[in-house]
Amino acid sequence: MWRITIKKLPDKKGYFGQYGGRFVPETLMPALQELEAAYSKTQKDKSFQRELKYLQETYIGRPTPLYFARRLTKHLGGAKIYLKREDLAHTGAHKINNALGQALLAKKMGKKRLIAETGAGQHGVATATGASLVGLECEIYMGSEDVQRQSLNVFRMKLLGAKVNEVNIGSRTLKDAINEALRDWTTNVRTTHYVMGTVFGPHPFPMLVRDFQSIIGREARKQIIKAEGKLPDYLIACVGGGSNAIGLFYEFLNDAVKMVGVEAGGRGIETGEHAARFAGGSIGVFQGCKSYLLQDDDGNVLGTHSVSAGLDYASIGPEHPYLRDMKRVQYTYATDSEALSAFELLSETEGIIPALESAHAIAEAVKLATELPKNKILVVNLSGRGDKDVQQVARIKGIEL
């Protein structure tokens, strides 16, 4: 018997159990309250919802397909693998679901300017796209290490009219980009909306981003029932901040479906060079919320490593440790080399080049499908396309383009 019922969270203070909250400088507190109020108004605003739906269908291209990966399934010889094709959403990843929603919201709030952090560049591209769609200025913060490994996306953002600021402090990756974006927001909060790219940061961001992303699971649930006449046995998604994962999982939380989140195992947990917050972290307060964090004994944040820029982050959205404590979602990790193998396997068997982030989810699907019998069904979130990673993979393989 299935007995878990997951409450609708967060609570009034933005908590999922003991995780979440709002740990930011006072300058930003009123903006967060304003955002929370504006967001709750748009949820009841029929014309806002109509416009959002219209753009989801005609601009993003929703619903994205749920695709049965026949050749991959056959190759592995076990459970059936379905792919939720967020790679086919406009701009090439799930990030647009959130960025478009927040761009509309910011416009409604009368803001003039959007800012965002980006790791893989997908959220930066999505925010720049949202900004040009609704007619707002846009500035993106990106760590210089990520600028280098995701150079294609940097140029895309510029083409879309955004200014890209390289961040040259700290580890020069996603967390440093978030620090800089928060500093910009603190300075320009009256005119600017910060488009947080994942289910992280101070309340209401983890809730609001989840809500915009939960369309993934709402579609997938209908699609799998139509295709198979029943619910799947497993859902699998990669977890950076955790937005594509929660986006897929949310609609299924009270169903008898197992869920697996896949973090970045980097060069292996024992090397310390990874971004597996559950395998190597502890509870901490970082960049606006309480959650799991890779930190030292003094509470300073540790450097992380992943082949995938989008998973290379020291903390994780606060709803995830809650779901883990409730034993509702299980978290594991895939290493760089497992993700790279999955990247090639999916390309060769299905003609789909996945984002390196999504390749972590594929790697877990490969393991699980192999162990499970043929009548089991897996749904994997293919959160993005891999075009942005092609140069990086060539570099790793020592191939000059």
Partner 1 sequence: MNRIETTLNRLKADNKKAFIPYIMAGDPDLEKTMEHVMLLAECGADIIELGVPFSDPLADGPTIQRAAERALKAGVTLKRIIPFVKKLRQRTQVPIVLMTYYNPVFKYGEDAFIKDSVKAGIDGVIIPDLPPEEGEDFIKLSRAAKFCTIFLIAPTSTKERIEQIVSACTGFVYYVSITGITGSKLMFEKTFKSHIASVKKSTDKPIAVGFGVSTPEDAKMVSQIADGVIVGSAIVKKFYEHPAGAKEFIRKLREAI
Q: List residues with catalytic annotation.
A: 95, 117, 383
Asked if residue 120 binds ligand PLP (CB under 6 A), the reply is: yes
Question: Which residues 136-195 are close enough to bind ligand PLP by CB under 6 A?
Answer: none
Of 104-112, 234-242, 281-289, 329-337, the segment contacting ligand PLP by CB under 6 A is 234-242
* Distance separating alpha carbons of residues 40 and 105, to the nearest angstrom: 10
Integer CA distances (angstroms), 10 to 195, 218, 277, in order = 19, 20, 21
* Distance separating alpha carbons of residues 377 and 226, to the nearest angstrom: 13
Asked if residue 306 binds partner 1 (CB under 8 A), the reply is: no
Asked if residue 318 binds ligand PLP (CB under 6 A), the reply is: no
DSSP code of 81?
E
Asked if residue 13 binds partner 1 (CB under 8 A), the reply is: yes
| Nearer Cβ to partner 1 (52/182) | 182
Asked if residue 306 binds ligand PLP (CB under 6 A), the reply is: no
> Under a CB-based contact definition with an 8 Å cutoff, are residues 191 and 161 in contact?
no
Asked if residue 304 binds partner 1 (CB under 8 A), the reply is: no
Q: How far is the CB of 240 from ligand PLP (least distance, A)?
A: 3
Triad 167, 211, 103: Cα angle to 5° = 50
- Spell 305-342 as b/e; 16+ CB within 10 A means b: bbbbbbbbbbbbbbbbbbbbeeebbebbbbbbebbbbb
Question: Which residues 22-61 are close enough to bind ligand PLP by CB under 6 A?
Answer: none
Structure tokens at 123: 């959220």
Cβ burial, residue 8 (10 Å; 0-12/13-18/19+)? exposed
Question: Which residues 240-259 are close enough to bind ligand PLP by CB under 6 A?
Answer: 240-245
Q: With CB cut-offs between 5 and 8 Å by kind, which of partner 1, ligand PLP, none does residue 170 bind?
A: partner 1
Structure tokens at 185: 């927001």
Q: How far is the CB of 389 from ligand PLP (least distance, A)?
A: 9
Q: Detail the DSSP E strand segments found in 53-125.
A: 66-68, 80-85, 113-118
Structure tokens at 243: 């937005």
Size of site (CB under 8 A) for partner 1: 37
* Distance separating alpha carbons of residues 322 and 320, to the nearest angstrom: 5
Question: Which residues 263-302 are close enough to bind partner 1 by CB under 8 A?
Answer: 284-288, 290, 293, 295, 297-301
Q: Which residues pair with 282 in a beta bridge?
A: 293
Asked if residue 238 binds ligand PLP (CB under 6 A), the reply is: yes
Biggest CA–CA distance in the chain, Å, is 57
Dihedral angle, C-alpha 345, 383, 218, 117, nearest 10 °: 170
> Under a CB-based contact definition with an 8 Å cutoff, are residues 122 and 153 in contact?
yes
CB count in 10 Å sphere of residue 1: 3
For residue 43, give the amino acid letter: Q
Mask 354-373, x = binds ligand PLP (CB under 6 A)?
A: -x-xx---------------
Asked if residue 18 binds partner 1 (CB under 8 A), the reply is: no
| Nearer Cβ to ligand PLP (144/186) | 144
Asked if residue 183 binds partner 1 (CB under 8 A), the reply is: yes
Mask 197-216, x = binds ligand PLP (CB under 6 A)?
A: -x------------------
Sheet with 289-293, strands from edge to edge, namely 15-16, 19-20, 289-293, 282-286
| Nearer Cβ to ligand PLP (73/358) | 358
| DSSP per-residue string spanning 323-358 | HHHTTSSEEEEEEHHHHHHHHHHHHHHHS--B-HHH
Q: How far is the CB of 132 from ligand PLP (least distance, A)?
A: 19
- Applying CB under 6 A, among 38, 66, 93, 140 the residue interacting with ligand PLP is 93
| Nearer Cβ to partner 1 (319/364) | 319
Asked if residue 105 binds ligand PLP (CB under 6 A), the reply is: no
- Applying CB under 8 A, among 7, 11, 30, 58 the residue interacting with partner 1 is 30
Enumerate binding residues for partner 1 (CB under 8 A).
13, 21-31, 169-170, 175-176, 179, 182-183, 186-190, 284-288, 290, 293, 295, 297-301
State the residues that interact with ligand PLP by CB under 6 A. Answer: 93, 95, 119-120, 122-123, 198, 238-245, 310-311, 355, 357-358, 383-384
